């Protein structure tokens, strides 16, 4: 049987029961389950604010837009970001006519604090930190840099559902202005697609809720509980979007949240199995995590000399790995910074994402690792 790089695991009967409740109640949109999921997410993470969205991509855009408007940033101002990420991260900056200024990555494939400091200039307004694969990287150093330079910090936590450091969710650390999570189909907490945005500032959370419902200052769920004949009256305060999440996705999220820690613990066991197989092989560099015991490990990567050859070899053996990610400065729209992040460029040609999901057994991991070792040692 073919082994895929990523595959979600759903607790199907429980999900169907939660969805059934939406259908029987006749409320599948904003409200009901979305409110319940927001509350459960705050309880789980410790965030003061959490707003459920239809994707993490819109969350990143909203984070940039709101920080820009509320802090008086101008078109052409810059946000320091990483080239090793899915393009959603950097598109969110371009949407607001700001400039993604790329800094290099460290050994964890997260932003390198030293290069971040080098990239700061008088147009820099924020840093976009990606918790690559669930890794916390050197986030504490980045927070310190942001505080010293009066910069906002956006945490792209698309891979970080369940990641902790000493039991604390990094997105709740002092100095993180906004954190965005993903519950896209293959993430650790999967739905069909959705996300969560968590502002530290309550005012920003209020603005966000209006923007995600077309700028309207009172959503339909809130109005459904009003008394009197004026409950249909509302104002439109912003030119907003249709970015909010719905109760069907939230219903799935409510179920899968209950199993998130259990699933992440099993992922860490599989990662340990990979590491034991690869440790000591000079032809394989394991991409480590500074918080191995509490990392969500959404994806698992190694670095090899002949990545494309290994991809082909694994595929011939019905193993289908992936690549996360291509150096974004190789794309035409971001090519103005091409060559300025040498480690990111080098690593993007050498990393391969090996299968890691809850349907795999340790025997599967050993089989995959054997095939990797067979190729690199030939």
CATH number for the domain that contains residue 317:
3.90.1150.10
Residues 335 and 362 reside in one and the same domain = yes
Residue at 342 is within a domain: yes
For helices 12-25 and 33-45, the axis angle rounded to 10 degrees is 140
Q: Is residue 108 part of a domain?
A: yes
Is residue 1 domain-resident?
no
In a domain, 4, yes or no: no
**Domain assignment of residue 193, given as a range:** 10-257
Helix (H) or strand (E) holding 22: helix 12-25
Predicted structure pTM score: 0.96
For residue 18, the domain's CATH number is 3.40.640.10
The answer to whether residue 3 is domain-embedded is no
Mark whether 186 and 305 lie in a shared domain: no
280/231 same-domain check: no
* 266: Cβ contacts below 8 Å, ≥ 6 apart: 358
- Which of 239, 257, 275 is at the close of a domain? 257
**Statement to judge: residues 268 and 251 lie in one domain:** no
Which one-letter DSSP state was computed for residue 213? Answer: B
> Are the beta carbons of 363 and 1 closer than 8 angstroms?
no
Contact present, 323 and 352 (Cβ < 8 Å): yes
> Are 245 and 297 in the same domain?
no
Q: How high is the pLDDT of residue 223?
A: 53
In this structure, the chain runs to a length of 378
Are 214 and 319 found together in one domain?
A: no
Same domain? For 26 and 162 the reply is yes
Domain boundary among 257, 284, 311: 257
Rg of the chain (C-alpha set): 21
Residue stretches of the chain with pLDDT short of 70: 219-232
Domain total of the chain: 2
Are 313 and 238 members of one domain?
A: no
Phi, psi of 103 (to 5 degrees): -110, 155
Tokens 């990606």, residue located: 130
Residues 6 or more apart from 270 whose CB is under 8 A from it? Answer: 297, 300, 356, 360, 362, 365
Residues 299 and 242 in one domain: no
- Show which of 205, 239, 257 is a domain's final residue: 257
213 with 321, same domain? Answer: no
pLDDT the model gives residue 20 = 98
242 plus 322 within the same structural domain? no
Assess whether 196 and 63 both reside in one domain. yes
What is the structure's pLDDT at 234? 86
Quick one: pLDDT at residue 203? 98
| Burial tier of 329 (Cβ tally within 10 Å: 0-12, 13-18, 19+) | buried
Q: Give the pair of three-digit tokens for residue 209.
A: 């809720």
């Amino acid at each position: 049987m073919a082994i895929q790089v990523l595959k979600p695991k759903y607790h199907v009967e429980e999900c169907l029961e939660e969805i059934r409740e939406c259908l029987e109640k006749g409320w599948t949109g904003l409200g009901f389950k979305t409110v319940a999921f927001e509350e459960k997410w705050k309880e789980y993470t410790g965030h003061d604010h959490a707003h459920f969205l239809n994707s993490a991509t819109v969350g990143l855009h909203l984070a940039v837009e709101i920080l820009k408007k509320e802090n008086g940033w101008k078109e052409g101002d810059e946000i320091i970001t990483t080239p090793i990420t899915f393009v959603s991260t950097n598109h969110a900056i371009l949407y607001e006519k700001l400039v993604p200024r790329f800094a290099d990555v460290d050994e964890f494939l997260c932003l390198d604090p030293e290069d971040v400091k080098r990239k700061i200039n008088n147009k820099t307004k924020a840093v976009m930190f990606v918790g690559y694969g669930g890794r916390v990287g050197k986030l504490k150093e980045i927070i310190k840099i942001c505080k010293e330079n009066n910069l906002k910090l956006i945490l792209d936590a698309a891979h970080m559902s369940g990641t902790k450091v000493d039991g604390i969710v990094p997105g709740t650390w002092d100095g993180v202005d906004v954190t965005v999570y993903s519950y896209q189909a293959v993430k650790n907490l999967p739905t069909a697609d959705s996300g969560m945005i968590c502002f530290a500032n309550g005012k920003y959370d209020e603005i966000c809720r209006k923007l995600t419902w077309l700028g309207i200052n009172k959503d339909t769920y809130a109005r459904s509980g009003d008394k009197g004949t004026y409950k249909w009256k509302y104002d439109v305060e912003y030119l907003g979007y249709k970015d909010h999440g719905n109760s069907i996705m939230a219903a799935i999220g409510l179920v899968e949240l209950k199993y998130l820690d259990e699933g992440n613990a099993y992922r860490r066991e599989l990662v340990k199995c990979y590491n034991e197989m690869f440790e000591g092989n000079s032809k394989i560099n394991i991409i480590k995590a500074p918080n191995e015991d509490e990392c969500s490990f959404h994806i698992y990567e190694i670095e090899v000399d002949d990545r494309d050859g290994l991809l082909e070899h694994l595929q011939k053996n019905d193993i289908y790995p992936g690549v996360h990610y291509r150096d974004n400065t190789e794309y035409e729209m971001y090519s103005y910074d091409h060559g300025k992040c040498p480690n990111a460029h080098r690593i993007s040609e050498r990393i391969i994402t090996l299968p890691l999901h809850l349907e795999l057994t340790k025997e599967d991991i050993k089989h995959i690792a054997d095939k990797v070792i067979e190729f690199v040692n030939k």
